[in-house]
């Protein structure tokens, strides 16, 4: 088993509800992001002869500028805004049609390069069979996060979804967690939060809704420490299936 439990007392009963992050929790983010950026980079080179290094510099500068201007909001993650500003910084103007084309190219290639973690759907099935409510609590805009869920055919697995666009601010702000719990109305106070980010998912959920926190760890993810340390570290969703079976068999 690859489940490391730091606080055993947190796992003495079944959860009443389970909240999930999306990107880098349901699937590894980096391979999908690389596929998206590669496709956009190649299109920019083909259409305008933009060298890869110039493209990367322009994109990084545009992303940083948008994030600094908009702060921790859903629109601060907008690839459409990134590409619009990148084209402006490269001296090409806003190029509205091209910005839209690059955004669609990015997300189409992103989804094509994304793969769910093994045993995720089986774990979600286990939760549904056990009568445990589920919700997604995710940053970014609703349209693309909905699109990801539909693409992965996960829409029937989750009861609710909350995006930072709907809640007003990104995690770890209280709003997304509070809104998810308000929608779910769990029958008890044992809530699990599963996410990869030590501050946004783990510390945020613990502070706001007193959640039992499980950090999904894989390549590129560092386990939180101090007040950002999770109650358990998860490498494989199969281990959560085993934990759920153990708690169910014990009648907890």
Predicted local confidence at residue 5, as pLDDT: 95
Tell me if the bond preceding 102 is cis, omega within 30° of 0: no
Here the tokens at position 15 are 């959860």
Predicted local confidence at residue 1, as pLDDT: 59
In sequence order, the 6+-apart residues with CB closer than 8 A to the CB of 124 are 134, 154, 157, 158
In sequence order, the 6+-apart residues with CB closer than 8 A to the CB of 38 are 109
Mean pLDDT of 48-54: 89
Mean pLDDT of the residues in the chain: 95
189 is catalytic: no
Contact 172, 203 (CB under 8 A): yes
Sign of CA dihedral 58, 64, 67, 68: negative
Identified catalytic residue from 23, 139, 170, 239:
23
Predicted local confidence at residue 171, as pLDDT: 98
Here the tokens at position 160 are 């609710």
C-alpha 155/C-alpha 234 separation (Å) is 23
Contact 214, 3 (CB under 8 A): no
- For the segment(s) 3-28+116-249, the CATH number from 3.40.50.880, 1.20.1740.10, 3.30.70.270, 3.40.50.1000 is 3.40.50.1000
Helices (H), 71-141: 79-89, 96-112, 120-129
pLDDT-derived band at 236 (thresholds 50, 70, 90) equals very high
Here the tokens at position 142 are 């609703």
Predicted local confidence at residue 250, as pLDDT: 78
> Is the pLDDT confidence value at 49 over 90?
no
3-state secondary structure of 51: coil
Predicted local confidence at residue 117, as pLDDT: 98
> Is the pLDDT confidence value at 200 over 70?
yes
φ/ψ region of 169 (left if φ > 0, alpha if ψ in -120 to 50, else beta) reads: beta
CA distances from 233 to 91, 156, 172, 189, 236 (A): 46, 26, 19, 21, 9
Stated pTM of the model: 0.95
227 is catalytic: no
Here the tokens at position 66 are 């948008």
Spatial strand order in the sheet of 191-195: 3-5, 232-234, 212-216, 191-195, 17-20, 133-138, 160-163
Report the Cα 191 to chain-centroid distance in Å: 18
pLDDT single digits (tens) 108-156: 999 999 999 999 999 999 999 999 999 999 999 999 999 999 999 999 9
Mean pLDDT of 202-229: 97
Contact 158, 135 (CB under 8 A): yes
DSSP H or E stretch at residue 162? strand 160-163
């Amino acid at each position: 088993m690859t489940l490391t439990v730091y606080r055993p007392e947190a796992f003495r009963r079944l959860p009443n509800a389970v909240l999930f992050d999306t990107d880098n929790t349901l699937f590894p983010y980096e391979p999908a992001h690389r596929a998206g950026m590669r496709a956009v980079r190649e299109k920019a080179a083909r259409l305008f002869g933009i060298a890869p290094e110039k493209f990367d510099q322009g994109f990084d500068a545009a992303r940083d500028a948008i994030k600094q201007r908009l702060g921790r909001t859903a629109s601060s993650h907008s690839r459409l805004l990134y590409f619009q500003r990148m084209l402006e910084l490269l001296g090409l103007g806003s190029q509205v049609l091209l910005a839209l084309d690059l955004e669609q190219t990015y997300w189409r290639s992103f989804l094509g390069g994304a793969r769910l973690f093994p045993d995720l759907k089986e774990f979600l099935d286990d939760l549904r069979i056990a009568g445990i409510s589920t919700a997604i609590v995710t940053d970014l805009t609703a349209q693309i996060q909905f699109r990801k869920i539909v693409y992965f055919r996960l829409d029937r697995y989750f009861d609710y979804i909350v995006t930072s666009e709907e809640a007003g601010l990104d995690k770890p702000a209280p709003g997304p967690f509070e809104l998810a719990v308000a929608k779910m109305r769990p029958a008890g106070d044992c809530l699990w939060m599963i996410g990869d980010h030590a501050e946004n998912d783990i510390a945020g959920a613990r502070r706001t809704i007193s959640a039992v926190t499980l950090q999904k760890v894989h390549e590129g993810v560092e386990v939180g420490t101090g007040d950002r340390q999770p109650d358990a570290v998860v490498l494989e969703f199969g281990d959560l299936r085993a934990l759920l079976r153990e708690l169910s068999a014990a009648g907890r």
